[in-house]
Amino acid sequence: MNPDAATIWKAPRWALAVLLALLGMLGPFSIDTYIPAFSGIAQSIGATPVEMQQTLSAYLFGFAFMNLFHGALSDSFGRRPVILAGLAVFTLASLGCALSQTIGQLVAFRALQGLASGAGIVVSRAVIRDMFPPAEAQRVMSQVTIYFGVAPAVAPIIGGFLFVHLGWHSVFWFLVAVGVVLFVFNWRMLPETLHASQRQPFHPAPLMRGYWTLVSDPRFMLLALASGVPFNGMFLYVLSAPEFLGHHLALAPQQFFWFFILTIGGIMLGAWQSGKKAGRVRPKRQIRDGFLIMLITSIVNVVANLMFEAHVSWALWPLAVFAYGWALMVPAVTLLVLDLHPTRRGMASSLQAVIGAVANGVVAGAVAPLVMHSTRAMALTSAAMLAIGIVAWWVMRRRWPEVGGDHAV
């Protein structure tokens, strides 16, 4: 924690949480806002569906790749310069997308968007731990998760409205405006939260040693798996939404929003509860409770799908409760990850994000297409992903029982 934290941010805690949550919302906005305009973009620039898919793949690849470095750069040069540079590049990339005339140009600028947009969510985690002791940091992390949960629900609505009334270019002009506003707000409000004594040298050898220190620490890998893989038990259904909602549950496209409202509501409620428990309930107990909720929900979901044909009257509720359990425990796990190596919090945030992104990519590219044909297969696969997280946490608790036992600064 920065010893000068009390003097460099004097505004209310919630104001910093809002500022950091807005940074984290860049990712969902960059993905979800332009999806309603897919068909319009394809017709306008003469792109095939496969080529349009490349605009999403290029973004995700850039996002995952650069996540390796955002945190390490912030450990060396400070949090503020990395965030501001990321916002500047994101704004320019969005401008390039808005002015694109060919699919090649759009793919290139989408890749640049991906390279830049991860700075917000990765570095903001480190900022939180720079500024607050563990219990307080968990409350702020929970507030960020609550605000962050709004983005996936709002972004498609905004994108669809802009596309219908102003055309697909307006979607990216909107992202340009978002980038400009965030840059101005962070330029004026965000302090440098990394204390000078905690900066790390920016040289290849120390960087490689830092990465090796993290990836060779079994505690780090177990905690990253415990938080990242169970998320895919829920994300599997998001990726399979057209098949799951449209085919299996026979919902019309305009009814899909119920799924997202319930799931995002579960995330926001779980994050709110996590913040309420911070400082009053030990992290390891809170994590246990989150896993227990997800486990019971997964068992109910598997049994229900094995016994009955999926129906909208009951099939969505287990996913909302699962999301609640995940959001209840993930702020605590994230803070444990950041505190394993306090001088490398930015790098730890980066690697945690990369592990999550790789897991998401595997599920999106390989797992979801294999199981989305069957609600039974989806329920069993979701439970299997949760099992990986539970085993990781169980091993962690067996070998290092002191981790998560208190809120020591």
Per-residue model confidence (pLDDT) at position 24: 80
Per-residue model confidence (pLDDT) at position 186: 93
The answer to whether the CB of 283 falls within 8 A of the CB of 219 is no
Per-residue model confidence (pLDDT) at position 184: 95
Largest CA-CA distance found in the chain, in angstroms, rounded:
60
pLDDT tens over the chain, length 409 residues: 777 777 888 777 778 888 888 888 888 788 778 877 877 888 899 988 778 878 877 887 888 788 888 888 888 899 999 999 999 999 999 999 999 999 999 999 999 998 998 888 888 888 888 888 877 888 888 877 777 667 766 777 788 889 888 999 999 999 999 999 999 999 999 989 888 888 887 777 877 888 888 889 999 999 999 988 998 898 888 778 778 888 899 987 667 778 878 988 898 899 889 988 888 888 899 999 999 999 999 999 999 999 999 999 999 999 999 999 999 999 899 889 988 888 888 888 888 888 887 787 788 777 888 898 999 999 999 999 999 999 999 999 999 988 876 544 3
The answer to whether the CB of 151 falls within 8 A of the CB of 28 is yes
Per-residue model confidence (pLDDT) at position 254: 62
pTM score, two decimals? Answer: 0.76
C-alpha to C-alpha distances, 94 to 215, 226, 380, nearest whole angstrom: 34, 34, 40
Per-residue model confidence (pLDDT) at position 305: 96
The answer to whether the CB of 93 falls within 8 A of the CB of 41 is no
Per-residue model confidence (pLDDT) at position 409: 38
Q: CA nearest 228: which of 383, 318, 333, 117? A: 333
Q: At how many degrees (to 10) do helices 103-131 and 79-99 cross?
A: 160
